[in-house]
Amino acid sequence: MIVLYRGEVAKVVVTVTEKTSIADAQYLFLFTNDLTGMSVAFIAANVSAYPIRYDEFLIDVDAYFSAGKDGFYTYRIFQQSSIVNLEPEATAGLVEVGKMKLVSEKGAIKEYNHNSQYKAYGQ
């Protein structure tokens, strides 16, 4: 599962090249909110240094999800040759499906400080 935090540019690692069947593919990302049904679609560039092993994409969370509600989304990644098409029906096919959680902010780690007092008894 992918977890995206508002205010960040997230590095998302997936494996889409292994199912891609066209040369020089562009990838259309389609995120659909599980509760509201609102969809967010965009094209992201593969910035992986080793695309045979993994694919890496940079996602500016605030740019794409400014109107999106926090919560769970289903994501679909499509292969295509177009650099402008945002319609899944006009792509060359689906290469990955998964879940994403959109979160407002990272939770702060609470530090627990306890004043322990130990009593030692002599022998």
Q: Along the 123 residues of the chain, how does pLDDT read in single tens digits?
A: 999 999 999 999 999 999 999 999 999 999 999 999 999 999 999 999 999 999 999 999 999 999 999 999 999 999 999 999 999 999 999 999 999 999 997 766 667 777 777 777 776
Looking at residue 86, its amino acid is: L
Which CA distances in Å does 3 have to 71, 76, 116?
10, 15, 38
- Apex 30 CA angle, 28 and 32, nearest 5: 180
Superfamily of domain 2-103: Immunoglobulins (2.60.40.10)
Contacts of 118 (CB under 8 A, 6+ apart): none
State the pTM of this model.
0.83
Q: How do the domains of the chain map onto residue ranges?
A: 2-103
